[in-house]
Amino acid sequence: MSDNRSLSNSTALRDGSVLRRVRHLGSARDGLREWRLQRLTALALIPLGLYFTASLLRLATSDRLTAAEWLSSPVPALLVILFLLAGLAHMLIGLRSVFLDYVHSRARLLAAGLLVRAATAVLMGASVLAVLKLFLGR
Amino acid sequence: MPMQRPLSPFMFPTWYRFQITSALSILHRLTGIALAVGSILLTWWLVAVAAGGELFAVTHAFIRSPVGRVLLFLWSVAFFYHLCNGIRHLAWDAGYGFELRSAYRGGYIVIAVALLLTVLAWAYVLLA
């Protein structure tokens, strides 16, 4: 590129026309949805992750009452749930890229993908349930 | 007897020097994996807080132990690094910063900001 301007200003009028042009590009002809979700969750995780990490570091070393109290208030509960959903989705997509690089047979790739997807579903369910229990039980 | 051809991953660092671009790239992947493993412990902690009782007592004791504190610290370092380098990736996705000079400069900024955030976070935790 001769200049540093972002490409998007000069090549797109509306998101739809960009989407129609870039869909099915690449050797796999697939993955645009994951690519966009990865970037979307990444953006969401900037504020959510900072908030969660700061709170976690503060609370992880405190006694149960402080952490449970914090999670039973509505705004922390909401932000933590959003963090968990965005974070675990982001993790799932990221791990798929890692598997694609290091798992060489199709069967093992599918198995690994299913395993991680199942584990993520369990983690998502358990963590959201835990926060809901604290929030609804106040 | 002729020497074996050097092959990946044994090219580093004797035959092929690390550069900030390649080092930060693999570090982004490694911290991502570390955070993924950490999410299991995170979920465990949330479930323990919700369940209370024996489970929470055991979890809490582990976190307060030296091993627990070190793990928490390492997790925070991984998180702040992955966050900063992730923003660098987002800038690339938007089309900015592909020149080699920009990539190097961005790399140094990422390391500096990640360290700064870690220091600030732990200062906040330990002093507030």
- The answer to whether residue A18 is domain-embedded is no
Range of the domain at B116: 67-128
**Helical packing angle, B20-51 and A74-102, nearest 10°:** 130
| pTM for the whole structure | 0.88
Are A37 and A89 in contact by the 8 Å Cβ rule? The answer is yes
Asked if residue B84 belongs to a domain, the reply is yes
Q: Can you give the residue range of the structural domain that contains A99?
A: 32-136
What is the token pair recorded at B7? Answer: 């092959």
Q: What would the pLDDT profile of B76-88 be if each residue is shown by its tens digit?
A: 999 999 999 999 9
Q: What distance in Å separates the CA atoms of residue A45 and residue A51, rounded to the nearest whole number? A: 9
Is residue A25 in some structural domain?
no
> Domain for residue A14, yes or no?
no
- Rounded to two decimals, the ipTM of the complex is 0.88
Q: Three-state DSSP class for B112?
A: helix
Instruction: Look at chain A and report how many structural domains it folds into.
Output: 1
Residue A16 belongs to a domain: no
**CA-based nearest residue to B75, from B124, B123, B118, B20:** B118
Gap between the Cα atoms of A17 and A95, Å rounded: 30
Identify the CATH number of the domain in which residue A68 sits.
1.20.1300.10
**pLDDT over 80 at A80, yes or no:** yes
Asked whether residue A37 is assigned to any structural domain, the reply reads: yes
Structure tokens at A101: 């690089």
> Environment class of residue B54 by beta-carbon count within 10 Å: exposed (0-12), middle (13-18) or buried (19+)?
exposed
Express as a percent the part of chain B with pLDDT over 90.
73
Q: If pLDDT is split at 50, 70 and 90, which confidence band does A10 have?
A: low
Partner-chain contact B121 A57, CB within 8 Å? yes
User: pLDDT class for A1, splitting at 50, 70, 90?
Assistant: very low
B5 to chain A, closest Cα gap in Å: 22
**Same structural domain, B88 and B54:** no
Is the confidence at residue A78, as pLDDT, over 50? yes
Between A55 and A61, the more confident residue is A55
- Whether residues B71 and B126 share a domain: the answer is yes
Domain stop point among B64, B79, B107: B64
Mutate to test the interface with B, among A40, A61, A71 (most CBs of B within 10 A): A61
Task: Provide, as residue numbers in chain B, all residues whose Cβ is less than 8 Å from the Cβ of A91.
Answer: 32, 35-36, 39
